A and B are shown apart, each in its own frame.
Chain A
Amino acid sequence: MASPRRSEGISKLTGRERYVDDLAIDGCWWGMTARSPAPRGRIREIRFGKGVDWSEFVVVDHRDIPGPNEVRLIELDQPVLAADRVRHVHEAVVLVAHPSREMCRRAIREIEIVVDREPPALDFRVTPSPDQIQYADDNVLKHLRIEKGDVERALAGAAHVVEEVYETGAQEHVYLETQGMLAWEDDGVVTVSGSMQCPYYVLNALIHALGRDEKQVRVVQTPTGGGFGGKEDYPSNIALHAALLALKAKHPVKIIYDRGEDLAATTKRHPSLVRHRTGVDSEGRLVAQDIEMILDGGAYVTLSPVVLSRGIIHAAGPYACDNVRIVGRAVMTNSVPFGAFRGFGAPQSLFACERQMDRVARAASLSPAEIRRRNLIRDGQTTSTSQRIDDGTDRLAVLDAALRRSDYDAKREAHRSFNASHPYLRRGMGLASFYHGAGFTGGGEVYLASTQHVAGLPDGRVEVRSASTEIGQGTRTIFATIAASRLGLDESDIVIAEPDTSRVPNSGPTVASRTAMVVGHLLELACDDLRRTLGLPKDAPGDAVRAAIIARLASHPSEELVGKARYKAPPGIQWDEQTYKGDAYGTFAWATYVAEVEVDLRMFETRVIAFDAVQEIGKVLNETLARGQIQGGVVQAIGWALTEDFVWKDGAMANAQLTNYIIPSACDVPPIGVEFLENPYPHGAMGAKGIGELPMDGPAPAICNAVADALGVEPTTIPLTPERLMDLMTEAGVA
């Protein structure tokens, strides 16, 4: 059966979709931001130059904030606008608004923010000196620890112990649509409309800093051109900026970042350093995993504690091992705050884990496939948090499917003779086995207690009311499929409500691969509730549902006919936040990816020439969208692995242009084979598990493992740029 088409697909394809920058509003002014020139210091003075007529502008600084000068998130440490001190380059200090965008640009060039510099902490890997301490007494934003068994004793008895340190760089989301927000006040209600993943995060931030109650604010998501986590927390900042300008200007105000500003000022993936000490017995079975993970958190807490949490929980990989110790810390630095990015800490820790498994394989004289085969978790065994895996998924079958699909063994053999004869090309195969927990970590979903509504419409159709947003991944299409399937209706009978906090309930944020699995399941339960409200039995066919809706609303026209559901943890889920023990996630998706690379030794360029992605994801809800998620994630991960290098200066991005921050072009991407195995998850919509983040986890280690296979050197740091590979080969004496 062909997958249902995405309802907004044609308007996106033909350029008719109206993003926030396309919305023409009468009397709208433009807003723009003046930013810190220094990574750390006291603001001594703000100078306004003579190049523009300031009487034409509205200028906002921290004194214009009605409520607390805090962006509400996990902690309240980040100011909406810096008041007396700055903690990173490009931190927002002053806002201007004017009817002309060009005049705003000129005004920003006329503003000089004079900062008395203080010593910044710029390298998260080194212990800060006393004068660099800015958070607690050690600049550590969060400490976390997982412990299972006795690591030291097991290491002492291991046949082989392998130690290595791995590092990963920052990454920019490069959503096609840059950040943008439009705000206005109408009848005492401040409405903010724009590009975002999480309308209720923005709403809560507005309530807090504007000092308003929830009836005086409203947030509407506009069609959003990609998010990848970059529009999880940052939209709260820019929404507040637009709202402050609109309130003071008494005009609607629109802030649209151009690409350079977006690259320089918004959040990125956390850089990481991960240390592994791994012990195996004489047969290559894991006996001990000793892991330390350090994340660069940047200037404010933002989401670093939960990124660290997901990072360490995934750090031991999808393997059974009785003795595991994982310590993690997120460290404050005077860089732009690092935030959510597809994978949320897991790509970093799994890069280290899966590179380390290849090292361990060589120490134990096993092939990369065999070391994984021996150690992949079997039903009845436990993860590092002592979560018992008992889902019936055949993880060896996932591995075998990937090996078969990629023709792994035959190609490896062929590459050996190719490499022996070619003057400068070297080919190799690499694989990575991994898992990704879907939904919020630990007790997160219980804490969120998300709600989801469906409403009957007078014509018998059903409206899905959700704060889960369409950000290019297909939420609207999936929700239509789920609701139609549950109610026995056609997808064309389902209407998806605009995510407007005055109309849709808080279904939680659109993050953590949770939309299809967690919120989709709530949608099913809300459909059941609607049917119950209509007095229909559980197996009532769609025609009966439609007729009952029409009849009820005809006889009770003033009533709302709404089915509701609220999250409850699946039975048997236990999590202890104190000891980090128990069921970290309701379920995991399982995968093995294979990369085939060709390295050109003339210029040390690594090219991925073939890629295969095999995963068990519960149930495929829409083949086209699922394939797109996997292929898109693989491409994004190829960029992170090979080319997306940050050049840092003073904690700021020195290469904040797409000419110099290098994402892959279509020419840099190989054919990507995708295969799904299905083992339905009883608590996900139609059996689905989350897949949004999964494809970000495997490609980087698979690619670097393939480079190791091709060249006999061990890359430990990504991006593996040609310059870095040249240095690595020179150090190894093989260049």
Chain B
Amino acid sequence: MKLLTPGTVPEATAMLRDSGGRAKPIAGATDVFVHWPVRVPADDEIFIDLSGLAELRPHRWTDDELILGALTTYWDVITDPRAAEEFAILVQAARTVGSIQIQTRGTWAGNIANASPAADGVPALMARDAVVELTSAEGVEQVPLDAFYLGYKRFVMKPDQLITAIRLPRRPHHFESFIKVGTRRAQAITKVGVAIAHSDAGWRIVANSMAPTVRRCRALEEALDDQAPLRSPNDFTPLLTRDLAPIDDIRSTAAYRLGVLARVLYHELAPVCGSVGPSGAAS
């Protein structure tokens, strides 16, 4: 195993290029250590430690964007009062990640690059129309987060590209909410998760642990934009299955995941959305 420690972004991207795409950038390393030492990295594995790239750490506010650096942690966002005001859904999601210790080391960019379908940061970012800035020795590219993933642990980012920023448009929201159904109330991997956001740009419903990638529920978003009547959890199910494909695994079942997502959405949307049926038809 080799650990490279660049001091600047150009150095880091040069290392990525020179490794022929084999090197893996790490920031908080929280995902690397999950399986340590049972699944140790191979002898020839290369890690690029980004923690020395100070310019990637701070997040910035511009007139129309919140820009997270590649090394911005969950904790950085949790502790920014402006984020709590304008991007409450990010703060909500960040607080559900692992433990406080993990929240202070784990980064938003790492959450995107690790590409877990159960990622808790990604749905909130996607619900707020995040754009990922990818930098390589060749140049810079901007990719909307909802076009980033191609399949399980696969994405459009090339092996020589590094996430250098995450850009989030500042936009007033009528409603937003993040729900995590985990196996317990802390230190839990998500069984069913959803980020809900509504602005003049329309509805965003983004689910995690419901498909091979974090995914937008576009059929449901359209139904909500069209104010289609949704009068019980059962009305949500056929819309959800158009975009999602939950599975049985060691943490839960497909039936539970789909049933619970429909119920959670119904109860979240019932009080705020006129087209959703009366809340009395609960269970």
Residues of chain A at the chain B interface (Cβ within 8 Å): 102, 105, 258, 260, 423-424, 601-605, 643, 647, 654-655, 659-660, 662, 664-668, 722-723, 726, 734-735
Contact = CB atoms under 8 A, between A and B. Distances in A.
Contacts of B263: 424, 601-603
Contacts of B38: 258, 260
Given A660-B183, A668-B184, 8 more contacts: A423-B279, A423-B280, A602-B260, A602-B264, A603-B181, A665-B187, A667-B186, A723-B252
A647 B282 CA distance: 32
Contact of A726 (B189, B259, B264): B259
Contacts, number: 72
B185 interface: yes
Nearest to A423: B282
A726 B188 CA distance: 20
A668 B185 CA distance: 6
A668 B34 CA distance: 22
Contacts of B272: none
Contact of A666 (B186, B250, B282, B283): B186
A717 B221 CA distance: 39
20 contacts: A105-B40, A423-B267, A423-B279, A423-B280, A424-B282, A601-B263, A602-B267, A603-B192, A654-B250, A659-B34, A659-B189, A660-B189, A662-B183, A662-B188, A667-B186, A668-B186, A722-B181, A723-B253, A723-B256, A735-B283
A208 B50 CA distance: 56
Nearest to B257: A723
B183 to A, nearest CB: 5
Chain B contact-residue range equals 20 to 34
A668 B187 CA distance: 11
B267 to A, nearest CB: 5
A668 to B, nearest CB: 5
Contacts of A735: 259, 283
Interface string B167-190: 000000000000001011111110
**CB-CB nearest 3 A-B residue pairs:** A667-B185, A423-B282, A665-B186
B282 A664 contact: no
B251 interface: yes
Interface in B197-255: 250-253, 255
Contact of A665 (B184, B253, B264, B267): B184
A474 to B, nearest CB: 28
A76 B109 CA distance: 56
A602 to B, nearest CB: 5
A712 to B, nearest CB: 11
Contact of B264 (A260, A603, A668, A722): A603
Contact of B260 (A423, A604, A734): A604
A655 B185 contact: no
B100 to A, nearest CB: 12
A258 B38 CA distance: 8
B20 interface: no
B250 A655 contact: yes
Interface of B: 34, 37-38, 40, 181, 183-189, 192, 250-253, 255-256, 259-260, 263-264, 267, 270, 279-280, 282-283
Contacts of B253: 723
Contacts of A723: 252-253, 256
Question: Which one of B186, B187, B264 has the greatest number of beta carbons of chain A within 10 Å?
Answer: B187
Contacts of A605: 181
B52 to A, nearest CB: 27
Contacts of B34: 659
A605 B192 CA distance: 12
B81 to A, nearest CB: 24
A655 B260 CA distance: 23
Main secondary structure of the interface of A (DSSP, over half): loop
A188 to B, nearest CB: 36
A726 B256 contact: yes
Contacts of B280: 423
Contacts of A668: 184-186
A662 B259 contact: no
Contact of B183 (A643, A666, A667): A643
B79 to A, nearest CB: 20
A654 to B, nearest CB: 6
Contacts of A726: 255-256, 259-260
Contacts of B282: 423-424, 601
A647 B250 contact: yes
A112 B255 CA distance: 38
Contacts of B185: 665, 667-668
B184 A722 contact: no
B233 to A, nearest CB: 9
Nearest to A643: B184
A722 B183 CA distance: 9
B37 A258 contact: yes
A102 B183 CA distance: 33
B256 A601 contact: no
A239 to B, nearest CB: 24
A258 B40 CA distance: 14
B37 A105 contact: yes
Contacts of A666: 186
Q: Tell which of B189, B259, B264, B283 has the most Cβ of chain A within 10 Å.
A: B283
A723 B270 CA distance: 24
B2 to A, nearest CB: 16
Contacts of B181: 603, 605, 722
Contacts of B187: 659, 665
Nearest to A663: B184
A38 B252 CA distance: 25
Contacts of B251: 660
Nearest to A422: B282
Contacts of A667: 184-186
A662 B256 contact: no
A603 B283 contact: no
Contacts of B270: 423
Nearest to B253: A723
A424 B267 CA distance: 8
A498 B192 CA distance: 50
Contacts of B183: 643, 660, 662
A643 B181 CA distance: 13
Contacts of A424: 263, 267, 282-283
A655 B249 CA distance: 10
From A603, A665, A668, residue with most partner B Cβ within 10 Å: A603
Nearest to A666: B186
A662 B184 contact: yes
Contacts of B37: 102, 105, 258
B257 to A, nearest CB: 9
Contacts of A659: 34, 187, 189
Contacts of B256: 604, 722-723, 726
